[in-house]
Amino acid sequence: QSSQGMISDELIYRLMSILGHLVQLKTLK
C-alpha cells in the first residue's frame, strides 16, 4: 500500500506540473 501511495503522489505532482506549464502557455498567448 505504501508503494501505491508514493506512486499516486508522484502522479499528482506530475499532473500539477503539467497543468502549471499549460497555464503558463495560455498566459503567454
The pLDDT value recorded for residue 14 is 96
* Confidence (pTM): 0.58
Copy the grid coordinates of residue 13.
505532482
pLDDT score recorded for residue 16: 97
Q: What are the tens digits of pLDDT across the range 1-29? A: 566 667 788 999 999 999 999 999 998 87
Q: What does the alpha-carbon distance between residue 18 and residue 28 come to, in Å, rounded to a whole number?
A: 15
DSSP string of 1-29, one letter each residue = -HHHHHHHHHHHHHHHHHHHHHHHHHHH-
d(CA 17, CA 11): 10
pLDDT of residue 1: 58
